Amino acid sequence: MIYLDNSATTKPYNEVIQSFTKVATTYYGNPSSLHQFGVQAENLLSRSREQVAELLHVSSNEIIFTSGGTEGNNLAIKGVAMQYKSRGQHIITTNIEHDSVHEPFKQLESLGFNVTYVPVDSSGFVSPAAIESAITDETILVSVMHVNNEIGTIQPIEEIGQMLTNYSKVLFHVDHVQGIGKVPLSLADHKIDLCTLSGHKIHGLKGTGILYKRNGVQLHPLLSGGSQEMQHRSGTENVPGIVAFAKTLRLTLEHAAQNQQKMRKIKAELMDKLSAHERITINTPNEHSAPHIINFTAQGIKGEVFVHALEEKGVFVSTTSACSSKRKKPSKTLLAIGKNYEEADQSIRLSLSGLNDYNEVTPIVNAIFTVIEDLKKVMR
């Protein structure tokens, strides 16, 4: 079995599972309780926050633990919009964001906010100049993903962040879910106000993640209740998951350079071999793309059919993002970069992790080419 759907989710590290189990069975107290079990849980919570902050080179009071990327993105976007709506009600994003960014913007639009969806070029890049030209006196937020989850384009976050320093009332949110551990990103150097991470994309557990919130930024909470997480996210903290996330992040960043080198080598070989096939068009840009994502179109073969045919050969891939794949809609990212409906409907995403091996390249390519030949016979 060769697993190539790591942008959807990854296999958890054994050490992470062990940490979760240890905390869940031994330190199961509520961190808000005053007794010994509560204090132990609170200490683990505080230590994890400090560890995550140290790894990201930020302050511990800038880390908000969440249930993952979707909650982090919603809290950042809606939290800013509702907190600062008296300053203005114009918000900006791109037309290729993940649904957990795109849908909150749509919801805010229905509530009266003015939204600009900045287009991207044929490689999926957004221009900082295009974002700047969309800014008005009413603009309060710009949200741009670091790495596109479907074609792997790396956005010019540093340039966007630097440009936004000229607009003091505009906050900058980055969805870093696909970038963490694959493409380095300095929160301080890139002038980022809010940044979302998810545990299960980096060999952690589902239901874990963080939102980085720069000191001085205020958020309107999505959840009201016990005022946990510095009053930003009420609800009893998932201490086992939080401890597991801290370990996940440490292990990921410790092995990041080695894994990036390995994935780049595998990706380059796959793209070279796949692009030689007459029916395959590579949609991932050759330059400025993440080391773990390859998106291609197989002419004349629906993506869903291709996925199941490869599965029968022990190779697991995907079409669009996992959050959208069951809606049977073509990729909005591919449509945005100029592909037609049919091409978008025939796209396949391969996504690597550090657990993949170079020796898998040949069987992957052979399986893909065999499936194309088998399906060509059926289509005649």
Query: For the residues of 103-152, what is the DSSP string, one character each?
Result: HHHHHHHHTT-EEEEE---TTSPPPHHHHHHH--TTEEEEEEESB-TTT-
- Conformational region of residue 288, where left means phi above 0, alpha means psi within -120 to 50, and beta covers everything else: left
Residues of the chain with pLDDT under 50: 322
The single residue listed with the structure tokens 């380059």 is 268
User: Residue 6 burial by CB count (10 A; 0-12/13-18/19+): exposed, middle or buried?
Assistant: buried
Residues 348 and 374 in one domain: yes
Sign (positive or negative) of CA dihedral 338, 340, 344, 347: negative
The pLDDT value given to residue 22: 96
CATH number for the domain spanning 353: value is 3.90.1150.10
Q: CATH number for the domain including 30?
A: 3.40.640.10
Residues 233 and 260 in one domain: no
Per the listing, tokens 């380095």 go with 184
Same domain, 230 and 345: no
Q: Would the CA dihedral through 346, 352, 358, 364 be positive or negative?
A: negative
- Are residue 135 and residue 30 in the same domain, yes or no? yes
| Separation between Cα atoms, residue 100 and residue 340, nearest integer Å | 24
Which residue has 């114009």 as its token pair?
90
Q: Which residue range is the domain that position 96 belongs to?
A: 14-254
Same structural domain, 216 and 267: no
Cα–Cα distance measured from residue 246 to residue 242, given in angstroms and rounded to the nearest whole number: 6
The reply to whether 347 and 375 lie within a common domain is: yes
pLDDT of residue 378: 66
Helices 361-379 and 303-311, axial angle in degrees (round to 10): 120
Decide which of 207, 229, 254 is a domain's last residue. 254
- Whether residues 232 and 283 share a domain: the answer is no
pLDDT in tens, 288-337: 999 999 999 999 999 999 999 999 999 999 997 545 555 567 789 999 99
Q: Is residue 195 among the annotated active site residues?
A: no
Domain boundary among 254, 285, 314: 254
- pLDDT number for residue 278: 94
Q: What are residue 13's phi and psi, to 5 degrees?
A: -60, 145
**Cβ atoms within 10 A of the Cβ of 7, count?**
27
CB atoms inside a 10 Å sphere around CB 37: 15
Say if residues 294 and 339 touch (Cβ distance below 8 Å). Answer: no
Same domain, 96 and 234: yes
One domain, residues 204 and 99: yes
Report the domain count for the chain: 2
Q: Are residues 234 and 109 in the same domain?
A: yes
**Domain check: are 38 and 77 in the same one?**
yes
* Last residue in a domain, options 202, 221, 254: 254
Phi then psi for residue 373, to 5 deg, are -65, -40
pLDDT at 380: 53
State the Cα–Cα distance between residues 66 and 198, nearest whole angstrom: 9
Q: What is the pLDDT of residue 327?
A: 56
Residue 177 and residue 118 share a domain: yes
User: Residue type at 262?
Assistant: K
Mean of all residue pLDDT scores within the chain: 94
pLDDT of residue 255: 96
Please identify which of the residues 323, 360, 365, 369 carries the catalytic annotation.
323
